[in-house]
Amino acid sequence: MTESFQETLILVERAQRDDDAAVHELFDRYLPRVRRIAALRLGRTTRDLLDVDDVTQNVMMTAFAKLDRFDVTSDGKFCNWLAKLVENQIRMDLRARGAQKRGSGRERRQADLDSAVHASQIGGAEPTPSEHAVGAEANDAIERALLSMSERSRELVIHRSFCALEYAEIAELLELGSPDVARSLYSRALRELEQRVAGGGTG
C-alpha cells in the first residue's frame, strides 16, 4: 500500500467521524480527476458536467462513507473505482431525465482542473491569469483529442495518466497479457494523443 493511499484511508476514517476538514481534503484530492475520467468515459468534456455535478459529489460522499466494504488496494484503483461509480450514476440520472444525447445541457469551463497529462508538464509558481487561460485551452484540446481516439487507447491514457495505475494493474484491467504489453500500448496511445492534439483532435 502506497503512502498516498494510506493517507487517503486515514482521511476516510476521519470523514466517517464527521470531520469536515477530512471531507474537503478528500474532495480536493479526487474530485477533479474523478470528474474528468467520468466525463471522458461518457463521451463528454468536463465543461459538459455542470448539470450533473451534484450527482458526482453525492456519489463520492457515499463511497467515502462505505469504503470499508470494498477491497480497494491502491490509490489508482481507488480513483478508478470512484470514477466508475460516478459515471454509472450519471448514466442513470441522464436516462431518468431523458437527457441521453451526448453533449446536451449547459456547459461550464472547469478552468481550475488540469488534466494529468497537461499538469505533468507544468511546474513552478502559481500560474498567471493568462497562463491559466492557456492551460484551460490546452486541457480542452487534450479532451477533444482523447474523445476522438479508440476506447482502448483512451482507457490506456485514463488508467495510466489520470488514475496513475501500475502497468501490471492496467494489463489486468484491460486483459492485455503482461505489463510490458500495457507499457508499449500506452506509449503508442500517448504518441497518438500528441499527434491528435497537434492536429486539432482529428489525427
Domain finish residue from 82, 100, 118: 100
The reply to whether 137 falls in a domain is yes
| 95 and 133 both lie in a single domain | no
The reply to whether 118 falls in a domain is no
| 82 and 16 both lie in a single domain | yes
Which cell numbers in the block locate residue 45?
A: 468534456
Compute the average pLDDT of residues 109-120: 36
| 137 and 182 both lie in a single domain | yes
Report whether pLDDT(193) > 90. Answer: yes
| 163 and 82 both lie in a single domain | no
The reply to whether 110 falls in a domain is no
The 10s digit of each residue's pLDDT in 52-100 is 677 788 888 888 877 777 666 788 888 888 888 888 888 887 777 664 4
The reply to whether 121 falls in a domain is no
| 94 and 14 both lie in a single domain | yes
Domain finish residue from 79, 100, 121: 100
Domain containing 191: what range?
A: 129-203
| 86 and 136 both lie in a single domain | no
| 181 and 90 both lie in a single domain | no
pTM: predicted TM-score of the whole model, two decimal places: 0.69
| 6 and 85 both lie in a single domain | yes
Compute the average pLDDT of residues 152-160: 94
In this prediction, residue 101 carries a pLDDT of 52
Q: For the chain, how many structural domains are there in total?
A: 2
Rounded to 5°, the CA angle 139-11-42 comes to 35
| 90 and 138 both lie in a single domain | no
The reply to whether 56 falls in a domain is yes
Which cell numbers in the block locate residue 190?
A: 500517448
Report whether pLDDT(22) > 60. Answer: yes
In angstroms, rounded to a whole number, what is the distance separating the alpha carbons of residues 151 and 35? 18
Closest CA relative to residue 26, chosen from 2, 37, 10? 10
The reply to whether 120 falls in a domain is no
Cβ partners under 8 Å of residue 95, min gap 6: none
CATH number, domain containing residue 25: 1.10.1740.10
Distances (CA, A) of 156 to 9, 26, 105, 179: 26, 25, 28, 12
The reply to whether 57 falls in a domain is yes
Compute the average pLDDT of residues 167-174: 94
Lookup result for grid cell 482521511: 11
| 73 and 143 both lie in a single domain | no
Which has more pLDDT, 111 or 174?
174
Query: What angle, 0 to 180 degrees and rounded to 10, lies between the N-to-C axes of helices 3-16 and 75-96?
Result: 50
The reply to whether 172 falls in a domain is yes
| 71 and 160 both lie in a single domain | no
Measured over the CA atoms of residue 178, residue 187, residue 81 and residue 7, the dihedral's sign is positive
Give the CA-trace dihedral at 75, 78, 83, 85, to 10 degrees: -170
**H runs (alpha helix) in the chain:** 3-16, 20-41, 53-65, 75-96, 116-119, 129-147, 151-157, 167-174, 179-198
Closest CA relative to residue 86, chosen from 27, 140, 142, 156? 27
Distances (CA, A) of 132 to 33, 52, 177, 196: 18, 25, 40, 22
As a whole number of Å, the end-to-end CA separation of the chain is 39
| 1 and 95 both lie in a single domain | yes
